[in-house]
Chains A and B, each alone.
Chain A
């Protein structure tokens, strides 16, 4: 695998479920990001990790919980989501914060 990979690619969950999104980067980068992409809206930055430390939490509800166990892996834990949370969730990485960001293909999430 090369670049930034995300699993699963598609996820359907009920409002009471708990699920996790996974991101892995194979680029040797030190910064990782979660974005939310909704129809007709700009990409929204959710979280930024630099050297496994969270450096940005963009006023994201607590039902989204990120985890960065090492510089290559990033998770987004989901619980008690709402239908309006349905979106494409994109992971990105960069060598350092502020450098060019490389995006994964995203996870298409549907909350019923």
Chain B
């Protein structure tokens, strides 16, 4: 019940296209859903995050869509660029937890072709 399932494992998109990565969770107590971006040789960096009181959050070309009833959330990257090529991780946690424990998905390697 602590798992977060992420798909696809890898994704190839043409420059200018839309990249979509999906995640699903089981634990309804989760109330914080961040997405992290990781470039080779670097640690993950927070990209965008959402809480379950909204169904969508947009920051620039990055949008999270959240479906509470389906227990699913997704990352959409509009107008994908070669510089977006990286590994993306979804995660979930309980904000009220005294540990801030993040449960991560397995990651999606995105390649944007020029």
Q: Which residues of A contact B (CB under 8 A)?
A: 4, 31, 33, 40-45, 48, 50, 55-56, 58, 90, 92, 94, 96-106
Contact = CB atoms under 8 A, between A and B. Distances in A.
Nearest to A54: B99
Contacts of A41: 106
A43 to B, nearest CB: 4
Given A42-B4, A94-B100, 19 more contacts: A4-B43, A40-B106, A41-B106, A42-B89, A42-B103, A42-B106, A43-B89, A48-B99, A50-B99, A55-B98, A92-B43, A98-B32, A98-B93, A98-B96, A99-B100, A102-B46, A103-B36, A103-B45, A105-B42
Q: How many B residues are at the interface, by size bracket? A: 20 to 34
B104 interface: yes
Nearest to B36: A103
Nearest to A88: B43
A43 B104 contact: yes
Contacts of A44: 104
B101 A56 contact: yes
B101 A45 contact: yes
B98 A97 contact: yes
Interface of B: 4, 32, 34, 36, 41-46, 49, 89, 93-107
B42 A97 contact: no
A97 B101 CA distance: 8
A37 B99 CA distance: 19
A100 B100 CA distance: 9
A90 B104 CA distance: 14
B102 A101 contact: yes
A30 to B, nearest CB: 11
Nearest to B5: A42
Given A94-B100, A98-B100, A105 B43 contact: yes
A46 to B, nearest CB: 11
A97 B100 contact: yes
